[in-house]
Homo-oligomer: A and B are copies of this chain.
Amino acid sequence: MTDDAGVDGDAETDADDERGGDPEVPADPEHESEIPEDHPRYESLLTRHRIERGVDIGITSKQGLIAEGRGEAFDYLLGEETLPSADAAARAAAAHLLLAEHPVLSVNGNVAALVPGEIVDLAEASGADIEVNLFNRTDERMAAIADHLREHGASEVKGLAADGRIPGLSHERAKVDVDGIGDADVVVVPLEDGDRAEALGAMGKTEIVIDLNPMSRSAQVAAVPIVDNIIRAVPNITRHAAELADASDEELREIVENFDREAALDEAERAIREGDLD
């Protein structure tokens, strides 16, 4: 993304230009497999394809599209790569998940659109539950997201019971499953609204946040803030979880204790401030 990071942009992106101009990539690929993996902007094309598909199947909202744009801008400033500190955060997240009594992955509309299969893989590698959790909750979106996750291999999707509440939030926004997030000791929230991130923290849960803005309240209150694109971060946590599958609890606790959240947030902020923007 270089050309149209304006509040005022129409449809003009480098990604579009390249899709339009590159005979190898259909302008509007119906299947991801039509996007060549060695394309220089593969990740960007894949993200765009998935988010647009999310709109088509009713799981990505207008707000979700705007949030996608904010993410693109921050990822651009970060150089569209995983910082060493973000990799360390992903490893600490994996250790937290493996140590947890009851880990839960919280899934919203954009998470489901962007990384449905990757979330299922992470749930399997870490023994976590998957719970759909929407800020603007409607029955239709809840069902569409649950279906989308099941199509990508999820065996159980929580969040539809909504028989529990997060204290301190208004009714609709507080809804969780009693035997899901309500019971979790470790939650992955990629990404969470600041109010809910604070409220979940106040419940004593260990929060792992994935957020491209290191200054966001969610990143600031997380035990483990992963400042990275969700498309890179979720598979990265899974990779670390697989590597750590046979690690002892002592080794896992050491990883958790050695992770420096302040240093990670500082490195990400420095990367945004001082990165090579050309």
The interface of chain A, by Cβ under 8 A from chain B, is 1-14, 16-17, 20, 47, 51-52, 55, 61-75, 77, 108-111, 114-115, 134-136, 170, 190-196, 210-213, 215-218, 229-231, 269, 272-275, 277-278
Contact = CB atoms under 8 A, between A and B. Distances in A.
B16 A135 contact: yes
Nearest to A196: B12
Given A108-B10, A273-B277, A69 B61 contact: no
A277 to B, nearest CB: 5
A143 to B, nearest CB: 16
A2 B66 contact: no
Q: Which of A12, A14, A20, A218 is the most central at the interface, judged by chain B CB atoms within 10 Å of its CB?
A: A12
Nearest to A1: B70
Nearest to A59: B10
When all copies of this chain in the complex are counted, the total is 2
Given A7-B68, A69-B71, 7 more contacts: A8-B67, A9-B68, A9-B71, A10-B135, A14-B194, A65-B69, A215-B277
Contact of A65 (B62, B114, B194, B273): B62
A76 to B, nearest CB: 8
Contacts of A64: 9-11
15 contacts: A3-B218, A4-B70, A4-B193, A5-B73, A6-B190, A6-B216, A8-B191, A11-B63, A11-B67, A11-B108, A12-B63, A12-B135, A20-B170, A65-B66, A72-B73
Which residue, of A51, A70, A75, A211, has the highest number of chain B Cβ atoms within 10 A?
Answer: A70
Contacts of A5: 67, 70-71, 73-74, 211-213, 216
B65 A11 contact: no
A108 to B, nearest CB: 3
Given A12-B193, A192-B12, A71 B110 contact: no
A146 to B, nearest CB: 15
A236 to B, nearest CB: 14
